[in-house]
């Protein structure tokens, strides 16, 4: 008999409600799991959209509450953005790297290099009437750890967690699902020393495992009004270990684009 084929299965959990500040994400996950007729198993990975993590942690900011600084007003004229939005971006950034009309590329306070410090207005508020933007979680790895611990308590199963967001890349067009928070699995997998088909040892191969999982899950999550912020990944073909999204951040000295 032939061996069973390798298989990675991605399942969007059903019936996830709109999330508000203070909502318990672990309770929402468990309820969505039950509605979907599923249970967790060891070694599975739950991919969680950044927006529902940020919303539950109260990371929504009303533009009406923001007073832009002189620097924000100056940059707003260059990039053609609301100076209040620019002020929020600056507060969420360590360094402004590039600017042009419509975009500010920064290194944010978490060490991520991305557009507009991840500050986003899409799906930020339910009624659409309040000018609000959503910020990234303060510490996405800690958010992933917390959700994993709470789910383990509720279900008795230890699963991996990936918090993903859509981020562009310096050398390619288009955004792609990217891991900004990780718990319970390696974010970066060192494959050096593994053998290829011809027995040669790999010398330079590091696999961005958490990013690959995040990108795959994004195909189901969608980018607009799909309402699928929780994706269960079954059959991830690598061993589990403790990890964090910080493993994926390239040192500035090794970044050819800076």
Q: What is the mean pLDDT of residues 133-159?
A: 97
- The continuous run of DSSP H or E covering 93 comes out as strand 93-100
pLDDT digits (tens, 9 = 90+) for 66-80: 999 999 999 999 999
The CATH homologous superfamily of the domain defined by 60-135: CofE-like domain (3.90.1660.10)
**Ordered alpha helix ranges (H), 22-160:** 25-35, 50-56, 70-79, 83-91, 140-155
Question: Is 7-57+136-250 assigned to CATH 3.30.1330.100?
Answer: yes
- For the chain, give every domain's residue range: 7-57+136-250, 60-135
pLDDT digits (tens, 9 = 90+) for 88-129: 999 999 999 999 999 999 999 999 999 999 998 876 664 556
pLDDT digits (tens, 9 = 90+) for 200-238: 665 656 788 999 999 999 999 976 556 899 999 999 887
| pLDDT value at residue 42 | 87
Q: What's the pLDDT band for 2 if we cut at 50, 70, 90?
A: very low
pTM for the model: 0.90
């Amino acid at each position: 008999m032939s061996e069973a084929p390798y298989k990675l299965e991605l399942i969007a959990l059903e019936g996830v409600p709109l999330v508000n500040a203070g909502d318990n994400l672990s309770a929402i996950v468990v309820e969505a799991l039950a509605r979907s007729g599923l249970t967790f198993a060891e070694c599975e990975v739950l991919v969680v959209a950044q927006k529902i993590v940020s919303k539950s942690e109260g990371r929504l900011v009303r533009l009406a509450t923001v007073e832009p600084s002189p620097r924000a007003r100056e940059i707003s004229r260059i990039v053609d953005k609301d100076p209040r939005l620019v002020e929020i971006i600056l507060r969420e950034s360590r360094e402004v790297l590039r600017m042009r009309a419509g975009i500010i590329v920064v290194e944010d306070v978490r060490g991520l290099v991305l557009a507009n410090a991840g500050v986003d207005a899409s799906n930020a508020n339910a009624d659409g009437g309040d000018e609000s933007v959503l910020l990234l979680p303060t510490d996405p790895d800690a958010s992933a750890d917390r959700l994993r611990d709470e789910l383990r308590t509720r279900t008795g199963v230890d699963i991996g967690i990936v918090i993903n967001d859509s981020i562009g890349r310096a050398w390619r067009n288009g955004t792609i699902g990217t891991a900004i928070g990780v718990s319970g699995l390696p974010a970066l997998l060192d494959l050096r020393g593994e053998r290829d088909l011809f027995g040669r040892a790999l010398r330079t191969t590091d696999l961005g495992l958490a990013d690959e999982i995040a990108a795959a899950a994004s195909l189901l999550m969608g980018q607009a009004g799909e309402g699928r912020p929780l994706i269960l990944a079954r059959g991830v073909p690598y061993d589990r270990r403790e990890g964090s999204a910080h493993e994926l951040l390239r040192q500035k000295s090794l970044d050819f684009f800076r």
